[in-house]
Amino acid sequence: MSLESVPGNTISSVASEADGTPNGDTVDGLQAKTAPHEGCTSEEPVSLSKKQMKKLLRQKQWEATRELRKQKRKEKRKRKKLERLTQPEDDTAGRVRKRFCRDVVRSPVRVVIDCSFESLMPLQDIKKLHKQIQRCYSENRKALHPVQLYLTSHGGQLRKCMDEGDKGWVNWKDINVKSEHYAELIKKEDLVYLTSDSPNVLSELEDTKAYVIGGLVDHNHHKGVTYRLAVEKDINHAQLPLGNFIKMNSRKILAVNHVFEILLAYLEKKDWKESFFSVLPPRKGAVPLEENNKPEDEKVNVGAADEESTGSDLEAKDTEKYNCSLEEV
């Protein structure tokens, strides 16, 4: 005999016996629902399955304990707050947290990432630039003295990459994302373009200045392009004083985010040497330069990044940031 020929009430009885629940009874106040049996002209009762009954029971119990769970969460928050207030004064984590909240002071220094070099980069390098910009934004948000960060000439493929890879960038705070060129936003006398080819060496960061970092990842294919640009537009220019303080075994090339991090570190430490060593990866072999052995003109490339740059390098955790590749900005 096929299952379809079995009357609906028989199926209900079998299900009830399997559940141990009499047909038509309730489980903890839950009444078994009825539904028309397929193929029958009249509506006949069909018991809920054991799984369905248990699900309804769990839902009812969850609703019944809602206020209790809310009260427990509130008590837990109060308990943690009390623990923080009563913890020893020499607790390192608490001291760092309080210092961070108390000492954050926004710097008047402006830092501009010039994104007008899109025509000189393939899509792969534009994506790398996007990762470097992400790191700059993240570091600025965590800094004790965050700068006024600008992205200028923003648009084209770079914006498309940001829309596809990080849609949340439109909600970024404390950053000025502009489609205009930086020359349209900032007075010429306030601009200082950071480029390795400049004969001028940066000695300090002035509050009234806006320091421009070339947003270019070109693997040294366009050497000197940022310096020529600054000269053509009659913009002040300078190079970082890397050669005055350290000596490296590898190429002296920095990524956009590394130059940016060095500027942030200097605003906090007021010491170029400490700032360089707090950012440069140890694998680059950077060592302090002896005072009596300083080169006359040792430059740090600012304007392009090398082929070691990858997105994963720039997405590493803060505790692993020294493993990031050192690239030219």
Q: Are residues 204 and 308 in the same domain?
A: yes
Lowest model confidence (mean pLDDT) among 94-103, 173-182, 210-219, 315-324: 315-324
The pLDDT tens digits of the residues spanning 195-234 come to 888 899 999 999 999 999 999 987 767 788 899 999 999 9
Count of domains observed in the chain: 3
Q: Are residues 249 and 300 in the same domain?
A: yes
| Domain boundary residue, one of 102, 126, 156 | 102
Model confidence at 291: pLDDT above 70: no
- Output 324 or 265, whichever has higher pLDDT: 265
Q: Are residues 202 and 60 in the same domain?
A: no
Residue 84 lies in domain:
70-102
Per-residue pLDDT band for 302 (boundaries 50, 70, 90) equals low
Is 207 one of the catalytic residues? no
Q: Are residues 175 and 237 in the same domain?
A: yes
Q: From CA 156, how far away is CA 159, in angstroms rounded? A: 6
Q: Name the percent of the chain lying above pLDDT 90.
A: 40
- Residues 84-107, buried b or exposed e (16+ Cβ, 10 A)? eeeeeeeeeeeeeeeeeeeeeeeb
- Residues 157-190, buried b or exposed e (16+ Cβ, 10 A)? bbbebbeeeeeebeebeebebbeeebbeebeeee
Which whole number is the average pLDDT over 139-151? 94
- In this prediction the pTM is 0.60
Residue 54 lies in a domain: yes
Q: Are residues 24 and 139 in the same domain?
A: no
Residue 85 lies in a domain: yes
- Output 163 or 19, whichever has higher pLDDT: 163
Residue 316 lies in a domain: yes
Lowest model confidence (mean pLDDT) among 145-154, 173-182, 312-321: 312-321
- Give me the pLDDT at residue 317, please: 40
Residue 328 lies in a domain: no
Which of 114, 125, 218, 313 is catalytic? The answer is: 218
| Domain boundary residue, one of 56, 79, 102 | 102
Q: Are residues 80 and 147 in the same domain?
A: no
Residue 329 lies in a domain: no
- Give me the pLDDT at residue 191, please: 96
Model confidence at 156: pLDDT above 70: yes
CATH number at 306 reads: 3.40.1280.30
- Give me the pLDDT at residue 145, please: 93
- Output 312 or 30, whichever has higher pLDDT: 30
Q: Are residues 97 and 219 in the same domain?
A: no
Mean pLDDT value across the chain: 76
Q: From CA 112, how far away is CA 294, in angstroms rounded? A: 30
95-104, 129-138, 294-303, range with greatest mean pLDDT: 129-138
Residue 114 lies in a domain: yes
Q: Are residues 216 and 319 in the same domain?
A: yes
Per-residue pLDDT band for 84 (boundaries 50, 70, 90) equals confident
Model confidence at 327: pLDDT above 80: no
Model confidence at 329: pLDDT above 80: no
Q: Are residues 74 and 13 in the same domain?
A: no
Q: Are residues 49 and 191 in the same domain?
A: no
Q: Are residues 246 and 306 in the same domain?
A: yes
Q: From CA 299, how far away is CA 251, in angstroms rounded? A: 10
Model confidence at 71: pLDDT above 80: yes
Q: Are residues 267 and 124 in the same domain?
A: yes
Residue 268 lies in a domain: yes
Per-residue pLDDT band for 310 (boundaries 50, 70, 90) equals very low
- Give me the pLDDT at residue 311, please: 40
Residue 167 lies in a domain: yes
